[in-house]
A and B are shown apart, each in its own frame.
Chain A
Amino acid sequence: MRHLFLLHRFNLGLLLVLANAALVLFLAAGDLKPVDELAWTDIIGEGGTAALALAWIVLVLRSRPSGRVTHLLVAGLGCLFFSWWVDTLDEFIQLPDTILWDHWLESIPMPIGMLLLTLGIYHWHREQLIISAQMAKREKLFRDYRLFDKVTPLGGADYLRQQLDIALQQARQQQQPLSLLMLDLTDFSAINRRYGFAEGDQVLQAVTQLLLLNLRRHDLLFRLAGDRFVALLPGTGERQAHALGQDLKAAVDHFAYHTQQQGERLQLCATCAVVMATQDNSESLLQRLNLALARARQPPYAHSA
């Protein structure tokens, strides 16, 4: 919070000075209303709106890096706040009828603020298009930040279930095949034990980037749990999915990961399994995929046993 005020001290300081100036101006020109003349519903309505505008400014500043879009949004919201602030002052201080500037103070910042806010939101939209392009292969159609895991960052198991339900329905309607791919790192727990859990998280992040690079545009990648990833492959038959899985496995096997501390080369290894959706719902499909992975993990000689 303190960091926030330091970073935006100019914006917030200007707002504070202007709000104070308005207060001083009102007090100099008019008189305080007696308590029994105050219209409390108006005060709560207008004062509350002003307070909310201030809250929006803080939220915008806290959630966005500084830059043009942020400045536009804050300037717009600042104007709105100022206008509502003057409106609120009006309720407490009675100005003589000869004074007109209080109406200007109230009504001029409002359209300017709306204009700035609109401009800000428009540029925000442009910015979001670019960010969405970067989120390709990780997010589709809808967003819920609670479903994103904090380590990689990919969608987690719940996001996978939701996307899978949608994809299964689409595949059925469009008569398209749909495949799922599961990839699991071999002996990942040993990396955690030997190099620490922070290093393990780094490995997961690196592998996430690697897998994203090797997937196609319309595929989606999730982290199911721990070191197990799932890719949703729309319009893909089992054979093609299998080939893709082999590519992903080869990419992980040949990946030269170096530890953060000593730069030591870690040999990663992955197991991959693929299933194609038939009559499944999302839960049974995931279960089938999990069993396929368990089979793929067994060494070849175990199959004959």
Chain B
Amino acid sequence: MTLHRIWYENDTRCIAAHFQPAALLDLALARDVDMHRVLRGTTLFVDDILQHRIRIAPAQFLQLIDNTQRLLASDDTAFLLGQRLLPGHYGAVSDALRHADHLQQALDLLIRYRAILSPLLAPRLLVDDHHAYLYWIDSCGNREQQRFVVEATMTAVHALCRWQSGEKLPWSFHFRHAQPRHIEQYWVHLGNDIHFAQQVDLMKIPREYLVRAWPQAASLAGTIARQDSEQQRQTQGWSSSFLDRLFAHLLRHIREPLSLERVAQDFAMSPATLKRTLKKHHTGFQEQLDLVRKHVALYLLHIKGFNNEEAATYLHFHDSTNFRRSFKRWTGFAPSELRQHLSTPI
């Protein structure tokens, strides 16, 4: 089986400069920061962004984020950016979001058009009997900027929901990073249900909120906007990033023996190219495989309610001791510790 090469990598010029990057520049402009200093090191010029509708690579956008953060030197940059990101001004997909019938539809749009709406961080949705879990995967090797990107993206979804639903939805926020000094920004922009040093970057909400009707919904305009969105996606040519693709691929085949060679073959590239591509995204094959296995293990233990033996069997470990050891390597905790440590699933 081979996959078509329609993903973007961190040096693919895939992000329209007048979408998210322009929102970031607007923020810097509003605080009187010199544009040329913001663009330093990105090989971009002010005119590029103003006059031509150019696209920039994720790596350039990340550099732009780094510059802006340093020049503004303010804890609220990510949150202020987040408030401007969704539904945004990204053409048909933004219209479709604006006319969404309910949360479920908005999230489906967000996931389907993630290459346009959230190019640096890929959303994934999981629903069990009680809750919906929206969790996020690093799409482009964001490294030091990952916290900023996560803060901004979660704020964006939260602000979108609040604006479109007309009420503050009871999201609970889980972050992989440790509690930062500027906790007050989280209080003000996200609310009080906030957890740090978690296993996954994730937003959780009671399931019933998924299908509650939103007042701004417009079914006819929404249908048309969704059709146009599909066209917009096809014109753009990318629907997800390389790391995103790899995560999905590994997830789909997690119960089969996975090796670098086999996955390279599936992606129609040589093992050396796969290695090089992963390195370009500041990661490696084992790290990605462990990431996926951690997600599956957490899903099995906390959402499916498996015990260690069942999870070990599912993931083809010889015994549960081996599984426990690996689990500790992935998460830093033994399965039992994590069960106690977390009052809530995941």
Contacts and interface: CB of A to CB of B under 8 A. Distances in A.
Interface of A: 146, 149-150, 156-158, 184, 189-190, 192-193, 197-198, 201, 224-228, 286, 290-291, 294
Interface in B181-203: 181-182, 184-185, 187-189, 192
14 contacts: A150-B31, A150-B74, A156-B75, A157-B75, A157-B184, A189-B159, A197-B83, A224-B184, A225-B185, A225-B189, A226-B76, A226-B188, A226-B189, A290-B192
Nearest to B191: A294
B178 interface: no
Given A197-B80, A225-B76, A294-B192, 19 more contacts: A146-B73, A149-B74, A150-B31, A150-B74, A157-B75, A158-B181, A189-B162, A190-B163, A197-B30, A197-B83, A197-B84, A201-B30, A225-B189, A227-B188, A228-B187, A228-B188, A290-B184, A290-B192, A291-B192
Given A225-B75, A226-B189, A286 B184 contact: yes
B79 interface: yes
Interface in B45-97: 73-76, 79-80, 83-84
A190 B164 CA distance: 11
Contacts of B76: 225-226
Contacts of B74: 149-150
B83 A198 contact: no
A197 B29 CA distance: 12
B152 to A, nearest CB: 14
Q: Which of A157, A158, A192, A201 has the most CB of B within 10 A?
A: A157
A225 B151 CA distance: 15
Contact of B187 (A146, A197, A290): A290
Interface in B34-49: none
A303 to B, nearest CB: 17
B83 A192 contact: yes
Contacts of B189: 225-226
A158 B84 CA distance: 25
Interface in B108-167: 159, 162-163
B189 to A, nearest CB: 6
Contacts of B79: 225-226
Contacts of B159: 189
A144 to B, nearest CB: 13
Contact of B83 (A156, A157, A189, A224): A189
Nearest to A190: B163
A192 B83 CA distance: 9
Contacts of B192: 290-291, 294
Contacts of B184: 157, 224-225, 228, 286, 290
A158 B83 CA distance: 23
Contacts of B163: 189-190, 193
Task: Rank and list the top 3 A-B pairs by shortest CB-CB distance, nearest first.
Answer: A226-B188, A225-B188, A225-B184
Contacts of A158: 181
Nearest to A286: B184
A299 to B, nearest CB: 12
Nearest to A150: B31
Contact of B188 (A149, A224, A291): A224
A271 to B, nearest CB: 12
Nearest to B159: A189
Contacts of A224: 184, 188
A201 B182 CA distance: 20
B30 A225 contact: no
Nearest to A151: B31
Contact of A157 (B30, B31, B84, B182): B182
A210 B169 CA distance: 31
Nearest to B76: A225
* Residue with the highest number of chain A CB atoms closer than 10 Å, among B162, B187, B189: B187
A149 B188 CA distance: 16
Specify which of A156, A225, A227 lies most central, judged by the most chain B CB atoms within 10 Å of its CB: A225
A225 B76 CA distance: 7
A146 B185 CA distance: 17
Contacts of B83: 189, 192, 197
Contacts of B185: 225-226
Nearest to B166: A190
A158 B185 CA distance: 12
Nearest to A224: B184
A225 B73 contact: no
Contacts of A193: 163
A158 B73 CA distance: 13
A149 B185 CA distance: 13
A149 B75 CA distance: 10
